Amino acid sequence: MAKVKISVEGFKCERCSHEWVPRNFKEESAVCPKCKSPYWNRPRKKKISKKI
């Protein structure tokens, strides 16, 4: 049998770069399974600190 690389779609956490394949694609993971961040699918916004 020849070895082939099978690429599976998955998610990647924007916070800790953890990648995982969800069991159910219909339901996006609420949190990153590694860092438990609920914002794993949102890139970090640049901090705009405006102190007046």
Where do contacts with Zn ion occur on this chain (CB under 5 A)?
13, 15-16, 18, 32, 34-35, 40
Question: How near is the Cβ of 14 to Zn ion at its closest, in Å?
Answer: 8
Residue type, 9: E
Report the residue number, 44 or 50, with the smaller CB distance to Zn ion.
44
Longest dimension (CA), the chain: 67
Nearer to Zn ion, 25 or 35 (CB): 35
Are 19 and 12 a contacting pair, CB within 8 Å?
Answer: yes
Asked if 14 and 42 touch (Cβ cutoff 8 Å), the reply is yes
User: Which of 16/28 has CB closer to Zn ion?
Assistant: 16
